[in-house]
Structure 1
């Protein structure tokens, strides 16, 4: 929400709480921006994780690699590879649909978060 408020040029509490943007910045706005800046300043330029994690050589701290697959990006990459062989006009973009039952896409949101919670629970068991 902080990044969105910066992009929109409004106070953070306008985005977070829906407050009137015509008011002066509050103490809460300033604290939110300071916290956001601290997080941004601590971000590693190579991996995007907090520097205090990724540049820490404490042997108790371990790293495992996880793979996050975006099936839309995979399909787009396949399409672009085929397109290199022929026509290069137009903008290609992914569009999701369901088959065979035309399930509304919003129903997949809850399923995704249930799957994510199950994976996290499994990881905590390791």
Structure 2
């Protein structure tokens, strides 16, 4: 069982993904969304095994967050799957994401990618 943190400012998407991931026997932590400047602090507090990170957030983009994760020794090992409705795969992988998933995606696509990232980790 992995501990997965969902960082997405769409509450409906968070609820759907939380249900799906819990059905797949994962522990799920939701970004509380209170302040985007606190995303990194919440990640450090929770120390998830994997982060499902949306590219577009209200005031920041996921690229900034994944770069910060990779620069810090305490978080550089955390696996990151980035998602977006635009094809930004190359940019996300170059920034340090482990994988990219284009929205909209089917639940089985996400689960397959999660297991793949977990095995490669």
Q: Which has the higher strand share?
A: 2
Same fold (TM over 0.5): no
Instruction: Using structure 1 for the length normalisation, give the TM-score.
Output: 0.21
Q: Which has the higher helix share?
A: 1
Bigger RCO of structures 1 and 2 (CA < 8 A, at least 6 apart): 2
Which structure would you say has the larger Rg? Answer: 1
